[in-house]
Structure 1
Amino acid sequence: MSDNGADSADRRGVGRRSVLASTAAATVFGLAGCTSLPGTGGNGNDTADVNESDIMGSGPLVEDRPKPGGTSMDDMPDLSGKLTLYLGGGEGGLYQRLIDYIDGRYPDLDILVKTDSSASLANTIIEENKGSGSRADLFLSIDAGSLGVVADSGATTALPQNVLTKVPEHYRGPKDSWVGIEGRARTIPYNTDKFSKSDIPDSIFALPDQQQFKNVMGWAPSYGAFQSFVTAMRVLDGEKKTKAWLKGMQKQGVTEYKDEFLVSNAVADGEIGAGFANHYYALRVQSQRPDAPIDLAFTKNDAGALVNVSGAEIIQGTDQKELAGNFALHLLSSEAQEFFATVTLGYPMISGVKPVGGLPPIEELQPPEIDLSKLSNVQPTLKLMREVGVL
């Protein structure tokens, strides 16, 4: 899953959870074949034969899964017409596979996909709306920050209620501007040969003060997910406390890595005892090494428990508002949510689909109360991180 990753539901749960199953995680699929248009991706509805297996993970973990709940695409409105979709990030191309699957289900549907980074497409939408109007009907982004930037510019229109009510309020944008389709949780991956779950504190701010974490932790400060985490800390707790935490971790002798998959691998290798990473990186490690001594701990009600989302929003001025809304609804179907769970290894947004790897359901997590749109304001975070020498 790419990065750059509560609610009205019950937030009961524990601050520390030992969650990973020892079975292999789901196989990650590659892209389906597609016919590209100039400046776009997508199949233009050229894929006639689609099967549900095209968007489902495989392997021991998936074979044991119950049938997903929720509403099937079979019970949703048919999709027809031309939809222009701006796809930001797309999880290294995996989202295109889901789009191709949906496109292939409906002979009267024609999806044109423009791909780029989420930030770049957000800026494109804003600039287009300042002129003659955006060419996009729907924006699909891998991070809530980009969705928030577009919404704050006035370039969105409200999503229909039948879409919004499927997702907990915490994972929806202000004024019904966007809706989460997949979640990614901040975690502390730890080596089970070095620590037990009771050793991991349920507060991120306890880590700089405990001697047991001296010279045994790792992070990836140049990575987008880590910067979103620090941004959340800055928004929630202020620059002074955030700066003190960064300095405290530096004094602990934290080891730097390029990305959070490397952090998680280092934990599994015993190179470090624990680290900071989004939840799915440990699952990816276990998909390659089922017996790796790695597990996940969750803090509670602080930036270390942040749950960011991929999401969708309808663009202001579209003449395909109903189609865009129904397509967003399809992204919250049982099939699509099972795709997000078993292929991208993310957190499903609907209660009828469970996450993989023994993860606690999203309603049991205890993320902080934060407007996820504010995670787009990363520049003060980068300035702060440079000031303390983290970057």
Structure 2
Amino acid sequence: MNHNDHDSTDSRVDRRRFLAAASATGIAASAGCISSLTGDDDDSGGELGLIGSGMDGRPAPGGTPMADMPDLSGTLTLYSGRGEPLVNTLLGYIEDQYEDFTVDTRYEASTTLANQIETAGNASEADVFFSVNAGALGLLADAGLTVTLPDDIQEHVPSQYRADGGAWVGTSGRARTIPYNTDELSESDVPDDIMAVPDADFAGDMGWAPSYGSFQGFLTAMRVMSGREETKQWLEAMLDAGVTRYSDEFIVSRAVANGELSAGFANHYYIQRVLANDEDAPLATAFTQNDAGAIFNVAGACVVSSTDDEDLATNFVRHLLSAEAQEYFATRTFEYPLIPEVEPVGDLPPVDELATPDFDLAQLSDIGPTIDLMREVGIQV
């Protein structure tokens, strides 16, 4: 699976875009029944925040509505590596569309669930595995524990965001970024080469979350692309500079906005969540170019080979690519939708304007050597 072929586009604008401050203080319904998915009933205890910038005048989403998809009937066992606060509203909405359909969801870390499915093999209770990252999906695909998805499902999503052969398909995406404090830094201060960041004047005033899965995925991409030794040197240089550890990347982004840090490492949507709650926060986002710091990872789903109702499981995955579900991911979780008919929220560059590297996302499943390397340099994970 080739990750991204868009880097040859001559008309690409500068990748180091900035996210505009969020202007929305409430939620405007996009269209029809989708309003019940993107309302302001935040079930995350406040962590998600309000819907971000770009909601004013947002067009109705394109794509295929659930009403035009096959009906769902029966009980589906979903192993979800996506957290309950992020997806339970969407799952409840899908259930409500069908009188005889129920989702029995087991929430756990994606890697934990993938390991459980692999251990159980044909005895697994899972019908569908819904992962926060491509790496965990790759683990099951490599083990031969997935069902090939129909062509019409695969074709909903650009080829770089699904597995070769149809073992899994991406449902939403996230870009790696460098959030920075605009009171402390300007655009020209932030390197567009991830390997140059430890040498930046502000490197000692940065934050990271090394226990966070997306950070470990970014390091895995660096190790695969640049080699173990160069990645080790990068980690040691960041530690020598004095980078500060945080528990997650939302906290990193908030610390940047609060002036505790000058910059950090985070997925793009955490910046949007901070700005959604404080449109005047001195926070902007830089993208590196064509390197591990510009990895675009996807959440996604696969049908598990142990399912006893392949049609139901397949049609459920199809629903995750519906107009309603893609609008939900854009406006509720601030992720990139993966069907071209639905736009991302906020002043974000389109996916095809990100300078992402040509990288097989399935390689992110090789995380063990990355964890070993982190521990070797003294990072507790």
Quick check: TM above 0.5?
yes
Aligned length: 361
Of 34, 37, 41 in structure 2, the residue corresponding to residue 52 of structure 1 is: 34
1:7 aligns with 2:4: yes
User: Which structure 1 segments of 5+ residues have no match?
Assistant: 1-5, 29-49
Cα 1:341/1:196, change in 2 over 3 Å? same
1:174 alignment partner, SS class: coil
What is the match of residue 93 of structure 1?
Answer: 85
1:106 alignment partner, SS class: coil
Structure 1 residue 367, shift from structure 2 partner: 1.9
- TM-score norm. by structure 2 comes to 0.88
What is the match of residue 170 of structure 2?
Answer: 180
1:228-269 deviations in Å (ceiling 9; x for gaps): 211111111110110111122223332222221221112112
What is the match of residue 272 of structure 1?
Answer: 261
Structure 1 residue 10, shift from structure 2 partner: 6.8
**Rounded Cα–Cα distance in structure 2 between residues aligned with 1:221 and 1:335:** 33
1:367 aligns with 2:356: yes
1:292 alignment partner, SS class: coil
User: Which structure 2 segments of 5+ residues have no match?
Assistant: 41-50
1:175 alignment partner, SS class: coil
What is the match of residue 281 of structure 2?
Answer: 292
**Matches for 1:203-352 after TM superposition, within 5 Å:** 203-210=193-200, 212-352=201-341
Letter in 1 for 2:334: L
Letter in 2 for 1:191: N
**Rounded Cα–Cα distance in structure 2 between residues aligned with 1:64 and 1:312:** 31
Moved more, 224-233 or 296-305: 224-233
1:267-296 deviations in Å (ceiling 9; x for gaps): 112222111111111111112211001011
- TM-score norm. by structure 1 comes to 0.86
**Rounded Cα–Cα distance in structure 2 between residues aligned with 1:75 and 1:120:** 34
Letter in 1 for 2:185: F
1:194 aligns with 2:184: yes
2:72 alignment partner, SS class: coil
Amino-acid identity (%): 52
What is the match of residue 39 of structure 1?
Answer: none
2:170 alignment partner, SS class: strand
1:84 alignment partner, SS class: strand
What is the match of residue 37 of structure 1?
Answer: none
1:75 aligns with 2:83: no
1:202 alignment partner, SS class: coil
1:153 aligns with 2:143: yes
Cα 1:232/1:57, change in 2 over 3 Å? farther
What is the match of residue 159 of structure 2?
Answer: 169
1:386 alignment partner, SS class: helix
1:327-365 deviations in Å (ceiling 9; x for gaps): 111111111001001111111111111111211112222
Cα 1:348/1:194, change in 2 over 3 Å? same
What is the match of residue 44 of structure 2?
Answer: none
**Rounded Cα–Cα distance in structure 1 between residues aligned with 2:101 and 2:272:** 35
Cα-Cα RMSD: 2.3
Structure 1 residue 326, shift from structure 2 partner: 1.7
1:80-139 deviations in Å (ceiling 9; x for gaps): 333222222x2343212211111110123233223222222212211222xx53222211
Cα 1:119/1:27, change in 2 over 3 Å? farther
1:25-56 deviations in Å (ceiling 9; x for gaps): 6879xxxxxxxxxxxxxxxxxxxxx9532311
